[in-house]
Structure 1
């Protein structure tokens, strides 16, 4: 079955009874045609379902009507990652107010991501980009500045003329978790973190160290271990921790998936939660609320975080200067997975 052919300017000109140049003038808002002709051409274009080609608009120097989002993480870790689903949902919601499209791509490395930005810029595929997972040594802001491609770094960073950042206060969020667990008597607290080198990972790790030092806790017993965010590595990290001579009395996981996997691992080992082990998830999700026991978690509106990032990018595309924007502080919601530490174990 043949596919429907996209309507062209020639089709509009034929239907409206005008020249192709008149159609071009009318649809691009240029002078040279009467208001009556302009209205007739627009009405015919709408009837035919015509939309401007992003490639043609790019060649003419106009906006493409699309923004880019690249994720340089192992694809296997994304299927159950609720954070990015909610983030993208918020981004799409904000972009829909301008009828802007989101061009989303998963790549294997940061180098590949940078090459993709260069290609998008050369081909005029996007008007700007949302940059996620900022690194401690990150080549992307400088590259995007050289290309002149407006960008918003989601997760914090320095702002520039065409570069904004939106951030969450990971330090205060981690401090609220440690305050909660310490108040319950926990003195052996391990943070099962995400990928090393990520700015938000390093902020959380640094905060845990500072909070432990301020409370006089043993740095060997209150520490962080890194993973790839997957359920398999979350479960494996939990097994190794529970096998230690002095296992932790509380574990903080950097996402909901690892927290659920850690809970299941503890239950397989007949480690009672929360009587023998307290469990905290960094981001709340339906997973945290349907497990037994329900997981204590940091609650934040991730979709709103996505909307904030997308609106900031639209603001840059409107010609405004870059700036740093902070999102609302997440709140810790204690549930049944955290309780008083076993005094004999702590």
Structure 2
């Protein structure tokens, strides 16, 4: 048995006094304003002057104040979390880089605001709607980012009935409806398709086809309509679209159908990089030289487009910036309660070796 040290039994170490967290009451006392003014200032809401807002934020920073997610939820102020649901075929979604970049941009903004992202992938639209109902019932999110707007979209009426602040990425009031809690981030797919058709026409292509994505998506329908409109304007009666589920298999199958037709196209526009790569592989199987025998254009430039042989001409937009813009729009909607319409910059066409002048008739 170990003997106690001289002078008596060992002393217990003194307990550390926990550091007290600063509260809104502390900030109000030091800034000389009411607690409600502190709440307005820290949450970006109207009701206080800019001078007061700046003073409150400066005091909060000096005191090391941080919003408590649990306290916000219990007080009914919110969950400090926003939601994103993707209803896409799992086999197709796993190959798309666009959504990864979109989420990266969203996270950049949410991290600055110390907001979380609740992300879920589901099989279909009913499962997506069920997710929103569950999140609302469980107070899981303060708002949602909605992707892949449909031509007939039940999600908007549902989210409106739940009074759920929402930003529709790729949506526009009047096409997908409007509601007091719904904001829209508009991307002009029609103008982008017109740009591609005009470019191919100037190269001499008169048989232009389009391998599209899911037919129920609003942006798919806008691209199809734009192709038909431009074809009518330019006198291209053979221009048409085939829809797919965005998978490599359906992209390849659609390309085979087009190339096996009585008048195969000399140029094909694909709605994603994966579809375009699959189509280029089919062309190679048929001993067609991509860029000479068949011109290929991809929507959504990516590493896949740049590494293909030959590299693929593509429409490019900054998907990370699109995600940031959507998240900024949603946080603004949560702060002010005022929805709006933001138009994102138009895609630009990056010309590479997969497009060239149309082959001569019979060539």
Aligned partners of 2:91 and 2:28: how far apart in 1? 55
Aligned partners of 1:142 and 1:171: how far apart in 2? 25
1:101-250 superposed matches below 5 A: 101-158=116-173, 159-218=178-237, 221-250=238-267
Q: Is 1:255 matched with 2:272?
A: yes
SS of alignment partner, residue 90 of structure 1: helix
Deviations 1:150-194 (A, max 9, x none): 000000122432210001110110000000101111111110000
Change beyond 3 A, Cα 1:152–1:323 = same
Partner in structure 2 of residue 87 of structure 1? 102
Partner in structure 1 of residue 4 of structure 2? none
Deviates more, 1:333-342 or 1:199-208: 333-342
Aligned partners of 2:193 and 2:320: how far apart in 1? 21
RMSD (CA atoms): 2.4
Partner in structure 2 of residue 339 of structure 1? 356
Deviates more, 1:316-325 or 1:57-66: 57-66
Larger radius of gyration: 2
1:8-27 superposed matches below 5 A: 16=17
Aligned partners of 1:85 and 1:286: how far apart in 2? 13
CA contact (8 A) 2:211 2:269 kept: yes
CA contact (8 A) 1:300 1:331 kept: yes
Change beyond 3 A, Cα 1:334–1:53 = closer
User: What is the CA distance between 1:217 and its match in structure 2?
Assistant: 1.1
User: What is the CA distance between 1:27 and its match in structure 2?
Assistant: 5.3
User: What is the CA distance between 1:81 and its match in structure 2?
Assistant: 0.3
User: What is the CA distance between 1:333 and its match in structure 2?
Assistant: 1.1
Q: Is 1:274 matched with 2:269?
A: no
Change beyond 3 A, Cα 1:345–1:153 = farther
Change beyond 3 A, Cα 1:165–1:345 = farther
CA contact (8 A) 1:185 1:343 kept: no
Change beyond 3 A, Cα 1:222–1:27 = same
Q: Normalising by the residue count of structure 1, what TM-score does the alignment of the two structures yield?
A: 0.85
CA contact (8 A) 1:160 1:323 kept: no
Q: Is 1:264 matched with 2:259?
A: no
Change beyond 3 A, Cα 1:33–1:291 = closer
Aligned partners of 2:265 and 2:195: how far apart in 1? 18
| Structure 1 residue corresponding to 2:305, chosen from 268, 285, 288 | 288
User: What is the CA distance between 1:15 and its match in structure 2?
Assistant: 5.7
1:314-329 superposed matches below 5 A: 314-329=331-346
User: What is the CA distance between 1:63 and its match in structure 2?
Assistant: 1.8
SS of alignment partner, residue 179 of structure 1: helix
Partner in structure 2 of residue 29 of structure 1? 24
- Report the number of matched residues: 314
Aligned partners of 2:278 and 2:18: how far apart in 1? 66
Q: Normalising by the residue count of structure 2, what TM-score does the alignment of the two structures yield?
A: 0.81
Aligned partners of 1:115 and 1:235: how far apart in 2? 33
CA contact (8 A) 1:156 1:166 kept: yes
Aligned partners of 1:241 and 1:15: how far apart in 2? 75
Structure 2 spans left out of the alignment, 5+ residues: 1-14, 31-59
Aligned partners of 1:194 and 1:69: how far apart in 2? 21
